[in-house]
Structure 1
Amino acid sequence: MVRAFAPVLGGNGGGAILNAPSAASWFSYDGATAYGAAKAAAWSLTNGIRLELAGQGTLVTGLHLGAADTDMMADYHGEKGDPADVVRAALDGTEAGRLEVVADEWSVHVKASLAADPGAFYTDLDRGPGLPRR
Protein backbone atom coordinates (compact mmCIF):
# COMPACT_ATOMS: atom_id res chain seq x y z
CA MET A 1 0.00 0.00 0.00
CA VAL A 2 2.81 2.38 0.88
CA ARG A 3 4.56 1.72 -2.43
CA ALA A 4 1.34 2.64 -4.25
CA PHE A 5 0.75 5.92 -2.42
CA ALA A 6 4.30 7.14 -1.74
CA PRO A 7 4.85 8.48 -5.28
CA VAL A 8 1.57 10.40 -5.14
CA LEU A 9 2.49 11.93 -1.79
CA GLY A 10 5.99 12.76 -3.04
CA GLY A 11 4.57 14.35 -6.21
CA ASN A 12 2.46 16.60 -4.02
CA GLY A 13 5.39 17.71 -1.87
CA GLY A 14 5.01 15.06 0.83
CA GLY A 15 2.39 14.06 3.32
CA ALA A 16 1.94 11.47 6.03
CA ILE A 17 1.49 7.74 6.34
CA LEU A 18 0.17 6.16 9.54
CA ASN A 19 1.04 2.50 10.04
CA ALA A 20 -0.27 0.44 12.96
CA PRO A 21 2.20 -2.22 14.04
CA SER A 22 0.54 -2.27 17.52
CA ALA A 23 2.00 -3.17 20.90
CA ALA A 24 2.08 -6.79 19.70
CA SER A 25 5.19 -5.83 17.71
CA TRP A 26 7.07 -5.78 21.03
CA PHE A 27 6.01 -9.06 22.69
CA SER A 28 4.58 -12.51 22.07
CA TYR A 29 2.02 -14.59 23.87
CA ASP A 30 0.92 -18.19 23.60
CA GLY A 31 -1.39 -18.73 20.66
CA ALA A 32 -0.35 -15.59 18.79
CA THR A 33 3.27 -16.22 17.84
CA ALA A 34 2.80 -15.66 14.11
CA TYR A 35 0.70 -12.55 14.78
CA GLY A 36 3.46 -11.08 16.98
CA ALA A 37 6.11 -11.93 14.39
CA ALA A 38 4.08 -10.21 11.67
CA LYS A 39 3.62 -7.13 13.87
CA ALA A 40 7.36 -7.05 14.67
CA ALA A 41 8.04 -7.11 10.94
CA ALA A 42 5.51 -4.29 10.46
CA TRP A 43 7.34 -2.24 13.11
CA SER A 44 10.63 -2.75 11.26
CA LEU A 45 8.95 -1.91 7.95
CA THR A 46 7.53 1.28 9.46
CA ASN A 47 11.00 2.33 10.59
CA GLY A 48 12.50 1.50 7.20
CA ILE A 49 9.95 3.29 5.05
CA ARG A 50 10.23 6.29 7.35
CA LEU A 51 13.87 6.57 6.30
CA GLU A 52 13.10 5.92 2.63
CA LEU A 53 10.37 8.56 2.41
CA ALA A 54 11.88 11.31 4.57
CA GLY A 55 13.63 12.82 1.56
CA GLN A 56 10.35 13.40 -0.25
CA GLY A 57 8.81 15.12 2.76
CA THR A 58 6.58 12.22 3.82
CA LEU A 59 6.20 11.56 7.53
CA VAL A 60 5.76 7.93 8.54
CA THR A 61 4.20 7.50 11.99
CA GLY A 62 3.93 4.17 13.79
CA LEU A 63 0.85 3.61 15.95
CA HIS A 64 1.13 1.21 18.88
CA LEU A 65 -1.96 0.20 20.82
CA GLY A 66 -3.22 -2.72 22.83
CA ALA A 67 -6.81 -3.89 22.60
CA ALA A 68 -9.42 -1.53 21.20
CA ASP A 69 -13.15 -2.20 21.31
CA THR A 70 -13.54 -3.26 17.68
CA ASP A 71 -15.06 -6.24 15.88
CA MET A 72 -11.59 -7.82 15.67
CA MET A 73 -11.42 -7.91 19.48
CA ALA A 74 -15.01 -9.05 20.08
CA ASP A 75 -13.87 -12.32 21.68
CA TYR A 76 -11.23 -10.67 23.87
CA HIS A 77 -12.40 -10.24 27.46
CA GLY A 78 -9.67 -7.99 28.86
CA GLU A 79 -9.68 -4.20 29.00
CA LYS A 80 -10.30 -2.53 25.66
CA GLY A 81 -9.79 1.08 24.76
CA ASP A 82 -12.26 3.30 22.98
CA PRO A 83 -11.44 3.34 19.24
CA ALA A 84 -12.21 7.09 19.16
CA ASP A 85 -9.42 7.67 21.70
CA VAL A 86 -6.98 5.68 19.57
CA VAL A 87 -7.93 7.59 16.43
CA ARG A 88 -7.62 10.90 18.27
CA ALA A 89 -4.15 9.99 19.55
CA ALA A 90 -3.07 8.81 16.10
CA LEU A 91 -4.25 11.93 14.31
CA ASP A 92 -2.90 14.29 16.99
CA GLY A 93 0.47 12.55 16.90
CA THR A 94 0.66 12.57 13.12
CA GLU A 95 -0.34 16.23 12.99
CA ALA A 96 2.39 17.00 15.56
CA GLY A 97 4.96 15.23 13.35
CA ARG A 98 5.63 12.41 15.80
CA LEU A 99 7.41 9.34 14.52
CA GLU A 100 5.60 7.12 16.98
CA VAL A 101 2.30 7.23 18.85
CA VAL A 102 1.88 5.00 21.88
CA ALA A 103 -1.89 5.18 22.26
CA ASP A 104 -2.68 3.54 25.59
CA GLU A 105 -1.31 2.60 29.01
CA TRP A 106 -0.79 -1.04 28.01
CA SER A 107 1.43 -0.01 25.10
CA VAL A 108 3.37 2.39 27.34
CA HIS A 109 3.95 -0.51 29.75
CA VAL A 110 5.07 -2.88 27.00
CA LYS A 111 7.44 -0.35 25.46
CA ALA A 112 8.97 0.50 28.85
CA SER A 113 9.49 -3.21 29.46
CA LEU A 114 11.71 -3.56 26.40
CA ALA A 115 14.71 -2.17 28.25
CA ALA A 116 14.27 -4.51 31.21
CA ASP A 117 14.77 -8.22 31.75
CA PRO A 118 12.11 -9.95 29.61
CA GLY A 119 11.55 -12.42 32.43
CA ALA A 120 9.89 -9.68 34.48
CA PHE A 121 7.50 -8.78 31.67
CA TYR A 122 6.49 -12.35 30.95
CA THR A 123 6.12 -13.15 34.65
CA ASP A 124 3.64 -10.26 34.95
CA LEU A 125 1.80 -11.11 31.73
CA ASP A 126 -1.05 -12.81 33.60
CA ARG A 127 -1.49 -10.09 36.21
CA GLY A 128 -1.67 -6.69 34.56
CA PRO A 129 -4.81 -4.90 33.38
CA GLY A 130 -5.58 -5.36 29.73
CA LEU A 131 -2.94 -8.07 29.33
CA PRO A 132 -3.58 -11.23 27.35
CA ARG A 133 -4.46 -14.06 29.69
CA ARG A 134 -2.63 -17.34 29.31
Structure 2
Amino acid sequence: MLINNAGIATGAGLVTGDLDMIREDLETHLFGTLRVIRAFAPALAASGGGAVVNILSVLSWVATEGTGSYAVAKAAEWNMTNGVRLELAGQRTLVQGVHLGAADTDMMAGRDAPMIDPADVARAGLDGVQAEAIEVLVDDPSRFVKAALSGDPAQLYSPPSGN
Protein backbone atom coordinates (compact mmCIF):
# COMPACT_ATOMS: atom_id res chain seq x y z
CA MET A 1 0.00 0.00 0.00
CA LEU A 2 1.16 3.48 -0.87
CA ILE A 3 -0.27 6.47 1.01
CA ASN A 4 0.36 9.93 -0.46
CA ASN A 5 -0.22 12.83 1.91
CA ALA A 6 1.53 15.85 0.39
CA GLY A 7 1.20 18.85 2.61
CA ILE A 8 2.04 22.44 1.77
CA ALA A 9 -0.12 25.49 1.26
CA THR A 10 1.73 28.55 0.03
CA GLY A 11 -1.36 30.75 0.25
CA ALA A 12 -0.62 32.22 -3.17
CA GLY A 13 -3.50 33.98 -4.86
CA LEU A 14 -4.16 33.10 -8.47
CA VAL A 15 -4.49 36.58 -9.94
CA THR A 16 -1.83 38.51 -8.03
CA GLY A 17 0.14 35.78 -6.24
CA ASP A 18 3.69 34.76 -6.97
CA LEU A 19 3.72 32.28 -9.89
CA ASP A 20 6.65 30.42 -8.33
CA MET A 21 4.56 29.79 -5.21
CA ILE A 22 1.67 28.55 -7.35
CA ARG A 23 4.11 26.22 -9.11
CA GLU A 24 5.35 25.01 -5.70
CA ASP A 25 1.82 23.98 -4.70
CA LEU A 26 1.38 22.17 -8.03
CA GLU A 27 4.84 20.60 -7.81
CA THR A 28 4.08 19.17 -4.38
CA HIS A 29 0.48 18.05 -4.75
CA LEU A 30 0.30 17.07 -8.41
CA PHE A 31 3.77 16.23 -9.65
CA GLY A 32 5.17 15.03 -6.32
CA THR A 33 2.29 12.62 -5.81
CA LEU A 34 2.52 11.44 -9.41
CA ARG A 35 6.27 10.85 -9.13
CA VAL A 36 5.79 8.70 -6.04
CA ILE A 37 3.02 6.69 -7.73
CA ARG A 38 5.20 6.13 -10.80
CA ALA A 39 8.06 4.94 -8.58
CA PHE A 40 5.92 2.49 -6.60
CA ALA A 41 3.53 1.21 -9.31
CA PRO A 42 5.90 -1.56 -10.47
CA ALA A 43 6.32 -2.86 -6.90
CA LEU A 44 2.55 -2.82 -6.38
CA ALA A 45 2.07 -4.75 -9.64
CA ALA A 46 4.70 -7.29 -8.62
CA SER A 47 2.89 -7.88 -5.33
CA GLY A 48 -0.45 -8.50 -7.01
CA GLY A 49 -1.89 -5.00 -7.08
CA GLY A 50 -2.19 -3.41 -3.69
CA ALA A 51 -3.55 0.09 -3.21
CA VAL A 52 -2.66 3.74 -3.68
CA VAL A 53 -4.36 6.11 -1.24
CA ASN A 54 -4.17 9.82 -2.05
CA ILE A 55 -5.16 12.19 0.74
CA LEU A 56 -6.99 14.98 -1.05
CA SER A 57 -9.26 17.73 0.21
CA VAL A 58 -12.70 19.23 -0.04
CA LEU A 59 -10.73 21.94 -1.87
CA SER A 60 -10.32 19.47 -4.73
CA TRP A 61 -13.87 20.51 -5.66
CA VAL A 62 -14.31 24.07 -4.39
CA ALA A 63 -12.14 27.12 -3.83
CA THR A 64 -12.55 29.35 -0.81
CA GLU A 65 -11.11 32.75 0.00
CA GLY A 66 -7.37 32.47 0.46
CA THR A 67 -7.01 28.94 -0.95
CA GLY A 68 -6.29 29.82 -4.60
CA SER A 69 -3.18 27.86 -5.58
CA TYR A 70 -3.74 25.11 -3.00
CA ALA A 71 -7.26 24.47 -4.33
CA VAL A 72 -5.98 24.39 -7.91
CA ALA A 73 -3.24 21.93 -6.94
CA LYS A 74 -5.68 19.68 -5.07
CA ALA A 75 -8.12 19.75 -8.00
CA ALA A 76 -5.29 18.68 -10.29
CA GLU A 77 -4.26 15.95 -7.85
CA TRP A 78 -7.86 14.71 -7.68
CA ASN A 79 -8.17 14.35 -11.44
CA MET A 80 -4.68 12.83 -11.64
CA THR A 81 -5.93 10.29 -9.08
CA ASN A 82 -8.83 9.48 -11.42
CA GLY A 83 -6.50 9.07 -14.40
CA VAL A 84 -4.01 6.92 -12.50
CA ARG A 85 -6.92 4.77 -11.33
CA LEU A 86 -7.70 3.93 -14.95
CA GLU A 87 -4.07 3.25 -15.81
CA LEU A 88 -3.42 0.98 -12.82
CA ALA A 89 -6.68 -0.98 -13.01
CA GLY A 90 -5.07 -3.56 -15.29
CA GLN A 91 -2.51 -4.41 -12.61
CA ARG A 92 -5.30 -4.72 -10.01
CA THR A 93 -4.16 -1.69 -8.00
CA LEU A 94 -6.95 0.10 -6.16
CA VAL A 95 -6.52 3.88 -6.39
CA GLN A 96 -8.46 5.78 -3.76
CA GLY A 97 -9.04 9.46 -3.12
CA VAL A 98 -9.71 10.49 0.49
CA HIS A 99 -11.41 13.86 0.92
CA LEU A 100 -11.74 15.90 4.09
CA GLY A 101 -12.36 19.45 5.19
CA ALA A 102 -9.56 20.02 7.69
CA ALA A 103 -7.52 17.85 10.02
CA ASP A 104 -5.77 19.00 13.18
CA THR A 105 -2.23 18.98 11.77
CA ASP A 106 0.75 21.35 11.80
CA MET A 107 -0.35 22.69 8.42
CA MET A 108 -3.62 23.91 9.98
CA ALA A 109 -2.03 25.28 13.16
CA GLY A 110 -3.43 28.65 14.15
CA ARG A 111 -6.45 28.43 11.87
CA ASP A 112 -9.90 28.86 13.31
CA ALA A 113 -11.85 26.10 11.61
CA PRO A 114 -13.52 22.86 12.63
CA MET A 115 -10.94 20.07 12.40
CA ILE A 116 -11.01 16.32 12.70
CA ASP A 117 -8.42 14.06 14.24
CA PRO A 118 -5.84 12.86 11.67
CA ALA A 119 -6.30 9.34 13.06
CA ASP A 120 -9.92 9.48 11.83
CA VAL A 121 -8.66 10.27 8.32
CA ALA A 122 -6.25 7.33 8.41
CA ARG A 123 -8.93 5.00 9.77
CA ALA A 124 -11.45 6.05 7.11
CA GLY A 125 -8.90 5.54 4.32
CA LEU A 126 -7.91 2.09 5.58
CA ASP A 127 -11.56 1.09 6.00
CA GLY A 128 -12.11 2.31 2.45
CA VAL A 129 -9.27 0.17 1.13
CA GLN A 130 -10.75 -2.85 2.86
CA ALA A 131 -14.11 -2.05 1.22
CA GLU A 132 -12.35 -1.42 -2.14
CA ALA A 133 -13.80 2.11 -2.24
CA ILE A 134 -12.30 4.43 -4.84
CA GLU A 135 -13.46 7.51 -2.94
CA VAL A 136 -13.79 8.19 0.78
CA LEU A 137 -15.55 11.25 2.19
CA VAL A 138 -14.29 11.57 5.74
CA ASP A 139 -16.36 14.40 7.20
CA ASP A 140 -19.45 16.58 6.81
CA PRO A 141 -17.70 19.34 4.79
CA SER A 142 -16.52 16.83 2.17
CA ARG A 143 -19.96 15.19 1.98
CA PHE A 144 -21.70 18.59 1.70
CA VAL A 145 -19.47 19.93 -1.07
CA LYS A 146 -19.53 16.66 -3.04
CA ALA A 147 -23.34 16.65 -2.94
CA ALA A 148 -23.49 20.34 -3.87
CA LEU A 149 -21.45 19.83 -7.04
CA SER A 150 -24.52 18.63 -8.94
CA GLY A 151 -26.47 21.76 -8.03
CA ASP A 152 -26.23 25.45 -8.76
CA PRO A 153 -22.64 26.60 -8.11
CA ALA A 154 -24.02 29.80 -6.60
CA GLN A 155 -24.67 27.85 -3.39
CA LEU A 156 -20.88 27.43 -3.09
CA TYR A 157 -19.84 30.81 -4.50
CA SER A 158 -22.32 33.39 -3.35
CA PRO A 159 -20.82 36.89 -3.43
CA PRO A 160 -19.96 38.59 -0.15
CA SER A 161 -22.78 40.76 1.20
CA GLY A 162 -22.80 44.26 -0.17
CA ASN A 163 -21.83 43.25 -3.74
TM-score by length of 1: 0.89
Q: Deviations over 1:16-62 (max 9, x none)?
A: 00012211100011221111110000000000000000000100000
Q: How does 1:1-134 map to 2 (within 5 A)?
A: 1-123=36-158
The DSSP-based 3-state class of the residue aligned with 2:156 is: helix
* Alignment CA distance shift 1:57-1:124 (3 Å): farther
Q: Deviations over 1:62-112 (max 9, x none)?
A: 000011111111121111011111111111001110000000011000101
Looking at structure 1, the residues matched to 143 and 156 of structure 2 have their Cα atoms a distance apart, in angstroms, of 13
Looking at structure 2, the residues matched to 48 and 13 of structure 1 have their Cα atoms a distance apart, in angstroms, of 20
Tell me whether 52-61 or 75-84 shows the greater mean CA deviation: 75-84
The DSSP-based 3-state class of the residue aligned with 2:95 is: strand
Q: What is the CA distance between 1:124 and its match in structure 2?
A: 9.3
Looking at structure 1, the residues matched to 111 and 118 of structure 2 have their Cα atoms a distance apart, in angstroms, of 15
Q: Give structure 1 stretches of 5+ with no counterpart.
A: 126-134
Q: Give structure 2 stretches of 5+ with no counterpart.
A: 1-35
Q: What is the CA distance between 1:13 and its match in structure 2?
A: 1.2
Looking at structure 2, the residues matched to 79 and 123 of structure 1 have their Cα atoms a distance apart, in angstroms, of 21
Aligned length: 125
Q: What is the CA distance between 1:122 and its match in structure 2?
A: 2.3
**Cα RMSD (Å) of the superposition?**
1.4
1:128 equivalent in structure 2: none
* Alignment CA distance shift 1:102-1:124 (3 Å): farther
Looking at structure 1, the residues matched to 159 and 107 of structure 2 have their Cα atoms a distance apart, in angstroms, of 25
